[in-house]
Structures are given as structure tokens and as C-alpha cells.
């Protein structure tokens, strides 16, 4: 019988805003957001909980956030400072276990299956992690504890801020029974709407569908849905590795029939990409790319080195990519290639 894994997902609460509030307590009780300026079509990277009470959230256009809350304090962000705090928090993670998989500056998975400290209790480890991060950095961390990565990530978000949610192995079935399918990793608005059209809103209802039916309806992702509805997630925690790209994509509930509608869909994709880049601390970039999957499931990707991520850059690549198929589009993606360490050092050389 294989050993049941113990996975932690640690997620700093409104990380960028939390660093700003730590360093300037006068910001704590007022609506605060980190993001780009509205006149530059900026987006919100993160915001504190007083701002969230107005309906503001990450990836929202700054102009809309200011309409929702005219008194919002907007800061551009100090990403070198955020990286430094992130390194301090990651150091705490590595004191507990070498098996740490960072997802961004403010969150990571930890595999503590073989950790013997705290009598092997993952719950006690999570409490220690929260206490140490707060004591050393002044930042609160929410932690989820579960036997799988996807459940640990759901758990860390369950009782934010400053939360600790534990899903023991014996409790997985009960927990999944009422879990909304939209909480599952990979289920975006389009897939969520398709499941709702089938009368599926909870994992218990999803678990009543057979593998063959789900694959017929959702293709390869149907197998993943079948597994998640049963709490199955065999993905291991992967120790930090070099990230080569950052991207976002959307599969549409209805195919986009022409180029004009594809171009309209670029703006929300660009906003999501900007938010994701902010969470990674605005890394050095080497180029941009677009991904297009047509309604016949054929896929084309087009990239250009040296371009910065902008609507014009993505629109130019999208027009070329679309011309390869000239058919309705079911999926669009945009992304950036990250500069390698060698490229970064070349970029830093004086001209």
C-alpha cells in the first residue's frame, strides 16, 4: 500500500498590498491596490481586503477599479522589495522541506510526507509555517493541507485571510460531495458553463458521469475531470525549475466566427497575462507569442522575439496566425517567452 502524501499549499494574503501595509501602517484600513495607471490601460495586480469590499479584484482594469472606489489608493508596486520578502518566505519553506515548488512570488506547494518534525503532523507543520512567516516577515500566509495538490490549493483559499484548512485523507469524499465544480483546477468560465448546461454544479454530480461520457464531451480534459471529481491527483511537487514562458488562454463556449471577434477577445486575455506577470515579479522577457486552436482542433502558434507584450504586438501575430486556418476559433492564448539567465546578463550589459 502506497504512502498517503501530505501536501501543503501556502499562499500569502494579498501579498504585494501586504508588503506595502506592513511598511506603511497608514495604508492598512483604507482601500489599496497595486497596479498600472488607468491612463495607460493598466490592470490591478492585487488589492487589500478593504478594496475587495468594493468588488475590486486582480486582473480588473484600473479604470474600472477607480469607478468602483474613487478613493482607492493606487501604488505602482516595488517588485524588487516584493522579491526580497518572497525570498525570506521561501527560506522558511525550505527549512521545513527541500520539496518546494514555487508557483509565483507569493505561493508554493510543499511536500511534507517524509518530514519527521512536529511528530509528522502536517497540521502542526502548517501552523509553524504561518507563525514563522509572520514573525520573520510580518506577512500572513494562508495554508491548505491535503493529500493532493489540487485539494491543498483549494484548502488554502477556503478561509482567507490568515486561514488554515485541513482536508484529512478520510475526509476527501465528504469534502468533494458539495464542492462546486468551478473550484476545480482547469475549470474556467466556458467549461463551467458547459457543465452547468449538463446539470453539473458539484463534484458529487460530476462523479456520476462516466469516463467515456466526459471524454466525449470534453476531450482529453474529460479524463482529468473524471479524476478530480474522485479526489485523484497524482502530480508530484516539483522542485523549482527554470520557467521558460508565462501564458494565459481561453476556450470559448461558442467558437469565434471571424478575425474581428478574435481581436475583441485579446483585451481580457492581455489583462490576465499582465496580472500573471505581476505575480511573477515582472520577469525579463525575450518575446511574445499567440496560440490559436481552430474549430477543427488544428493548432497553430506564432511567436516573435524582441517584441514587448502589448495589444498591438498580439494583434499583429494573431492576424498572421488566423490567416493560416481562416476558420472559427475555439481557443485563444497569449504569452511571453522569458529571458534565460544568459540573455538577462546580456540585457544588463552597457551599450
Question: What is the four-CA torsion angle of 339, 345, 348, 351, rounded to 10 degrees?
Answer: -110
* Cα separation, 241 vs 244, whole angstroms: 9
* Cα separation, 127 vs 105, whole angstroms: 21
Please state whether beta strands 107-111 and 7-12 pair in parallel, antiparallel, or not at all (unpaired).
antiparallel
* Cα separation, 177 vs 76, whole angstroms: 42
Annotated binding-site members: 11, 106
Residues 6+ apart with CB under 8 A from 140: 12, 13, 18, 130, 133, 134, 161, 162
DSSP output for 18-37: HHHHHH-GGGTTS-EEEE--
Annotated binding-site members for Mg(2+): 11, 106
DSSP output for 218-249: HTHHHHHHHHHTTT---PPPPP-----EEEEE
Residue 2: the pLDDT is 61
* Cα separation, 99 vs 110, whole angstroms: 6
Residues 6+ apart with CB under 8 A from 350: none
Residues catalogued as catalytic = 107
Residue 344: the pLDDT is 45
Decide: 97 and 115 in contact? Cβ < 8 Å: yes
DSSP state of 333: E
Q: Where along the chain do its domains lie?
A: 7-14+80-171, 15-77, 173-228, 245-348
Decide: 19 and 139 in contact? Cβ < 8 Å: yes
Task: Per residue of the chain (351 residues), give pLDDT as tens.
Answer: 467 899 999 999 999 999 999 999 999 999 999 988 866 667 888 999 999 999 999 888 888 999 999 999 999 888 889 999 999 999 999 999 999 999 888 999 999 999 999 999 999 999 999 999 999 999 999 999 999 999 999 999 999 999 999 999 999 999 999 999 998 888 888 888 889 988 999 999 998 888 998 898 888 889 999 999 998 999 999 986 667 888 888 878 788 999 999 998 888 888 888 888 887 777 778 889 999 988 887 889 998 887 888 888 899 999 999 999 899 998 899 999 887 654 444 444 343
Residue 244: the pLDDT is 80
Residue 185: the pLDDT is 83
* Cα separation, 249 vs 120, whole angstroms: 40
CATH code of the region 7-14+80-171 = 3.30.70.270
Secondary structure (3-state) at 323: helix
Q: Which long-range contacts (CB under 8 A, 24 or more apart) does 47-55 make?
A: 47/14, 47/17, 48/14, 48/17, 48/18, 48/21, 49/14, 49/161, 51/17
Residue 46: the pLDDT is 92
- Per-residue cell: 215: 471524454
* Cα separation, 334 vs 58, whole angstroms: 18
CATH class of 15-77: alpha beta
Decide: 286 and 299 in contact? Cβ < 8 Å: no
Residue 279: the pLDDT is 73
CA-wise closest residue to 35 among 259, 282, 275: 275
Residue 284: the pLDDT is 79
We find that the CATH architecture of domain 245-348 is 2-Layer Sandwich (3.30)
CATH code of the region 173-228 = 1.10.150.20
Residue 201: the pLDDT is 93
* pTM of the predicted structure, to 2 decimals: 0.72
Amino acid at each position: 500500500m502506497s504512502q498517503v502524501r501530505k501536501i501543503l499549499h501556502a499562499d500569502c494574503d494579498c501579498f504585494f498590498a501586504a508588503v506595502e501595509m506592513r511598511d506603511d501602517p497608514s495604508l492598512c484600513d483604507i482601500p489599496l491596490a497595486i497596479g498600472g495607471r488607468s491612463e495607460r490601460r493598466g490592470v490591478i495586480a492585487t488589492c487589500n481586503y478593504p478594496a475587495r469590499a468594493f468588488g475590486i479584484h486582480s486582473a480588473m482594469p484600473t479604470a474600472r477599479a477607480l469607478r468602483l472606489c474613487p478613493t482607492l489608493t493606487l501604488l505602482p508596486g516595488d517588485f524588487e522589495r516584493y522579491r526580497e520578502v518572497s525570498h525570506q518566505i521561501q527560506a522558511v519553506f525550505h527549512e521545513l522541506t527541500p520539496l518546494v515548488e514555487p508557483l509565483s512570488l507569493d505561493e508554493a506547494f510543499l511536500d511534507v510526507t517524509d518530514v519527521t518534525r512536529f511528530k509528522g503532523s502536517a497540521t502542526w507543520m502548517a501552523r509553524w509555517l504561518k507563525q514563522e512567516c509572520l514573525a520573520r516577515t510580518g506577512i500572513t500566509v494562508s495554508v491548505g493541507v491535503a493529500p493532493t495538490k489540487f485539494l491543498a490549493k483549494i484548502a488554502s483559499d477556503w478561509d482567507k485571510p490568515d486561514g488554515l484548512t485541513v482536508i484529512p485523507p478520510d475526509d476527501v469524499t465528504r469534502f468533494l460531495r458539495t464542492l462546486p465544480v468551478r473550484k476545480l483546477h482547469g475549470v474556467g468560465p466556458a467549461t463551467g458553463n458547459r457543465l452547468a448546461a449538463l446539470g453539473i454544479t458539484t463534484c458529487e454530480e460530476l462523479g456520476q458521469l462516466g469516463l467515456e461520457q466526459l471524454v466525449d464531451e470534453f476531450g482529453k480534459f474529460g479524463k482529468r475531470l473524471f479524476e478530480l471529481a474522485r479526489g485523484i491527483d497524482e502530480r508530484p511537487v516539483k522542485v523549482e525549475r527554470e520557467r521558460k514562458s508565462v501564458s494565459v488562454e481561453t476556450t470559448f463556449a461558442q467558437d469565434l466566427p471571424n478575425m474581428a471577434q478574435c481581436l475583441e477577445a485579446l483585451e481580457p486575455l492581455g489583462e490576465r497575462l499582465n496580472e500573471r506577470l505581476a505575480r511573477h515579479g515582472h520577469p525579463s522577457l525575450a518575446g511574445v507569442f499567440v496560440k490559436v486552436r481552430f474549430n477543427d482542433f488544428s493548432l497553430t502558434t506564432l511567436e516573435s522575439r524582441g517584441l514587448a507584450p502589448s495589444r498591438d504586438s498580439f494583434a499583429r501575430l494573431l492576424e498572421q496566425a488566423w490567416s493560416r486556418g481562416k476558420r472559427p476559433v475555439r481557443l485563444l492564448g497569449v504569452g511571453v517567452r522569458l529571458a534565460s539567465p544568459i540573455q538577462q546578463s546580456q540585457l544588463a550589459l552597457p551599450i
